[in-house]
Structure 1
């Protein structure tokens, strides 16, 4: 949700930092004018305000550039509630999305689809006519409710269902939008009967703060993304989701139709054909733990996948 879409240890800017809907806004990262995504001069590639999505956007941008296409980067825009309309209206031409979260949050909050195939079928039917999804990748980054190994042992927690009798004693931390999303507190209550004692909201993407709060006991559960390197490194426990509250979250290009030609579509589908969850985990470790530059990590992966220029 999502899902999404990472990331792990970098505080994000506020949603409004560069999330305006004016297509002629200057890109705060590049200083260039974004123009219109469909003006035939430059494909605007956007990203949400967390490092994994920015990395994916950089991969898309470099893949397009390797085909001789001109690209303008408009990264760190904000949460889906901010950037989605910009794509639909043409202010952004290409965006790395997470298919399940796109459907559940922006397109049809009442959808019950959980598999990749069902989600994509619904998206193709229900997306506004100005946009479309391209091929989904195998790579997936799902929302989760995660606890420390000590909390899991103390309350005998293995699945989300195990939270029901004890959640009234616990606090959960997440991005502020988690409070009102079906794939969030709303769904935890309706699907699992789970109601936490306290909700600690954070700016979307502020996972570094969220991890600190989890580790120091300020919150006992956290909405972490499953490709966060800290889950493995800190031996955190991702609670199983037997009722599929959190749907499939395959990395999938969302495009403004008139902004992309067949060459662009081929480049983006080529990324999807190669990208795996293991690749994401490896790249996020380099980005977060090893402090490598996102552009370098993206270039290295594209070269290893045979997609570089």
Structure 2
């Protein structure tokens, strides 16, 4: 998940950790609610959609563009901008207008002391901690949580089924993840504070990307941060460790938008997409891009047409 420099070097001085993402959820979506605003913005000038630097988020960005385009709204997608530490300030600054986000990760980015883990509660809390001028629209059925996985061999060797079990192997296991996971609550910090887990070593790789998955396959790491919609988890038979203490919050896909652009037309289009897009469907789209190497834009457009959303 390498960063690509866009927006005319706007972010050249920013730090660049990868975005941690985030199982189907249930949501009630309507065309006018779900955020802190009431649809008084205007999309007449079009929207610029930004995405993080991994394939699923790119797919989501093009899905947003497709449904908005079908509603007669002009859009432009700026993919691969980088991490949340980059894209959220860009949204605040007006360089982009809309982002596909993940509830739990966004909430912890805004308030690292937040304790909500249930989707509805997090949605309510998000409306109170977002910077002025931004709002979240109703969250989608689709969810993509962070998770921590080990190989079957490692699970058998140490008796691992849950994150709590990692404590039995304190000082013996190597964790691989994106660099920022070393300092995030859903990462080294939370695993130690909530579960008492201490690793032998942390290797800065990527989250659910080719580096961390390759390292897990080779045995260079013992525990990998992967996303629940990653098709490699099932295909490799990796054991996803359960989270009995609810360290990892719900991660429903949620549109994060500048209120000035959030008119009723935008709300309705994104709500319609959110009702149709499930975790299972998102996993299928990820497979087409990650495994079959298809273009995210084409994959998104084909899927929208198949669902009669474009």
Give the TM-score, by structure 2 length: 0.86
Give the unaligned 5+ runs of structure 1. Answer: 1-11, 24-36
Corresponding residue SS for 1:157: coil
In 2: Cα distance, 1:254 partner to 1:215 partner: 35
Partners of 1:17 and 1:233 lie apart in 2 by 33
Map residues 1-309 of structure 1 onto 2, 5 A cutoff: 12-14=1-3, 17-18=5-6, 22=10, 40-105=44-109, 107-202=110-205, 204=206, 207-308=209-310
Structure 2 CA distance, aligned partners of 1:109 and 1:89?
22
Partner secondary structure for residue 91 of structure 1? coil
> CA offsets per residue over residues 137-171 of structure 1, 9 Å max, x none?
11110111111111111111000000002031110
Q: Distance in 1 between matches of 2:8 and 2:164?
A: 39
Greater Cα shift, 232-241 or 79-88? 79-88
Q: Residue 187 of structure 1: CA displacement?
A: 0.2
TM-score of the aligned structures, taking structure 1 as reference length: 0.87
| CA gap 1:188/1:282 in 2 versus in 1, 3 angstroms | same
**Cα contact 1:47–1:77 (8 A) shared by 2:** yes
1:259 Cα offset (Å): 2.2
Partner-residue secondary structure (3-state), 1:173:
strand
| 2: CA distance, partners of 1:225 / 1:96 | 16
RMSD: 1.9
Task: Quote the offset at 1:240 in angstroms.
Answer: 0.2
For residue 269 of structure 1, report the CA deviation from its aligned partner: 1.1
Aligned-residue offset at 1:18: 3.0
1:273 Cα offset (Å): 1.1
Q: Structure 1 residues 185 and 146, CA, compared in 2 at 3 Å: closer, same or farther?
A: same
2:22 aligns with none
- For 1:27, the equivalent position in structure 2 comes to none
Structure 1 residue 260 displacement after superposition: 3.1
Unpaired stretches in structure 2, ≥5 consecutive residues: 12-40
Identify if the C-alpha distance between structure 1 residues 38 and 262 changes in structure 2 by more than 3 Å, giving closer, same or farther: closer
Report the 3-state secondary structure (helix = DSSP H, G, I; strand = E; otherwise coil) of the residue aligned with 2:76: strand
Paired with 2:130 and 2:179, the residues of 1 have a C-alpha distance of 25
Query: 1:131, CA displacement in angstroms?
Result: 0.6
Higher mean displacement: 236-245 or 39-48: 39-48
Distance in structure 2 (CA, Å) of the matches to 1:48 and 1:274? 22
SS at match of 2:272: helix
Worse-matched range after superposition: 129-138 or 286-295: 286-295
